[in-house]
Amino acid sequence: MDKKVIPYGRQHIDQNDIDAVVETLAADFLTQGPKVVEFENKFANYLGAKYAVAVSNATAGLHIAVMALGLKPGERVITTPITFAASANCIRYVGGEVWFADIDPETYLLSLESTRKLIESKPAGFFKGIIPVDFAGLPVNLEDFRELADKHNLWLIEDACHAPGGYFTDSKDEKQMCGNGNFADIGVFSFHPVKHIACGEGGMVTTNSEKLYNNLSKLRTHGITKENMSENHGGWYYEMQELGYNYRLTDIQSALGITQLLKNSKGVSRRNELANNYKKAFKGKIKYQSLPNGMYNAHHLFVIEIEDRKALYNYLRENNIFAQIHYIPVHTLPYYKEIGYGSADLSQAENYYSKCISLPMYPSLSDEEQEYVIDTTLSFL
């Protein structure tokens, strides 16, 4: 078959990305140089967050996020079952317990009500934090989650890996960019090529708290800091204050991140254009992720629900359309099944998983290609 395969997502690299990387290769620093700081500043500016810490990938970012918030072995954190495993794994890295609450059947996001019920079914202090995910690029209403978290003295990490450029509108009618740190303590982004901004591997951790920023920066580099260096010390002096990691992003990757970031707003508008085309074609025929008022979906994914999902998946493949499933519910993965921590009733997540399929969604998907995807999907019906 010589027909081009249409994947569910792909990166978009152009000549100015290539030039930026090549320039950095010939510069003084391959890592820990000026490009990292520039990328952090530009990314924080883009969101309107105070601080950003570039990391080697979002999984590493989630790991140092729970560490910076002081999560200890045996402590419990709530997250959504409809996410990539990394949103939960970070809790396990420090020996914490992962508890799941159910999703909303229309938005596919962690349900505020299910989370509230789970928290209120336990004694005070039972949970330490919540990790909601801006699934598919749809922002979680973090104002509501913050209120719930504050009531029960919990921290909040926003897994915004799907959502750079997405925003929700708060009760004061203000636009709140995903990961801006106004409601969640920490936001985490991924720069894996299938996400909006491609660095090869890469991630960003954002916060508005100076204290968390200092913790995150230390943990990214072995737990080492020069903050206590005084006149009596030599210039080489540093302290390792705790056990950290090498989770740094390189200058080469940051150079790519900077040029990719510049294209993000345009990419997200194109993604929304594509989403609107899908919706127009499917309205009344196929269920798709709903868009609550005041939300701007960054559309990492375009998810539909269909009864005979497996048959559609195979049919699309036969026609060179490589749709994907997001996600196998985390609590059903063998590792988590075996541990068997408690959870809410997760029937909405399981029902969603039996029907969900993600159609191609990326800025360079052409109108013709999308029409072909739409026609093929409708012809399956």
Ligand X SMILES: *Cc1c(COP(=O)(O)O)cnc(C)c1O
Site residues (vs ligand X, CB under 6 A): 57-59, 83-84, 86-87, 133, 159, 161-162, 190, 192, 203
In the complex, least distance from residue 133 CB atom to ligand X, rounded to whole angstroms: 5
The nearest distance, CB 274 to ligand X, in angstroms, is 19
Question: In terms of CB distance, is 185 or 376 closer to ligand X?
Answer: 185
What is the smallest separation between the CB atom of 168 and ligand X, expressed in angstroms? 17
From the CB of residue 329, how many other CB atoms can be counted at a distance below 10 Å?
18
CB nearer ligand X, residue 65 or residue 86: 86
Cβ contacts of residue 195 below 8 Å, gap of 6+?
A: 161, 162, 164, 189, 300
Closer to ligand X by Cβ: residue 76 or 162: 162
Least Å distance, CB 315 to ligand X, is 26
**Shortest distance (Å) from residue 128 CB to ligand X:** 19
Q: Do 73 and 321 meet the contact criterion of CB atoms below 8 Å apart?
A: no
311, 317, 319, 322: CA torsion to nearest 10: 120
* Beta carbon of residue 363, minimum distance to ligand X (angstroms, whole number): 18
Distance CA 140, CA 315 (A): 33
Which residues, 6 or more positions from 180, have their beta carbon under 8 angstroms from its beta carbon? 47, 48, 49, 187, 206, 208
Shortest Å distance, C-beta 255 to ligand X: 18
* Exposure of 353 in the CB half-sphere (CA atoms within 13 A): 18
Q: Which of 184, 167, 185 is nearest to 176 (CA)?
A: 167
Nearer to ligand X, 156 or 376 (CB): 156
> For residues 27 and 194, which CB has a smaller minimum distance to ligand X in the complex?
194
At closest approach, how far in Å is the CB of 259 from ligand X? 19
| Residue number with CB closer to ligand X (11 or 376) | 11
Nearer residue to ligand X within complex by CB, 68 or 86? 86
Hey, is 162 helix, strand or coil?
Answer: coil
Residue among 149 and 198 whose Cβ is closer to ligand X: 198
Please state, in angstroms and rounded to a whole number, the distance separating the CA atoms of residues 292 and 138: 9
Q: For 103, what's the count of Cα atoms within 13 Å in the CB-facing half-sphere? A: 25
Q: Is 74 exposed, middle or buried (0-12, 13-18, 19+ CB in 10 A)?
A: exposed
Distance set, CA 206 to CA 40, 133, 182, 288 (Å): 9, 15, 10, 30
Contact in structure between 269 and 197 (CB atoms under 8 Å): no
Task: Compare residues 252 and 319 and give the one whose CB is closer to ligand X.
Answer: 252
Min dist. Cβ of residue 194 to ligand X (A): 7
CB of 43 closer than 8 Å to CB of 204? yes
Taking alpha carbons only, the member of 60, 61, 62, 43 closest to residue 52 is 43
Residue 185, SS3?
coil
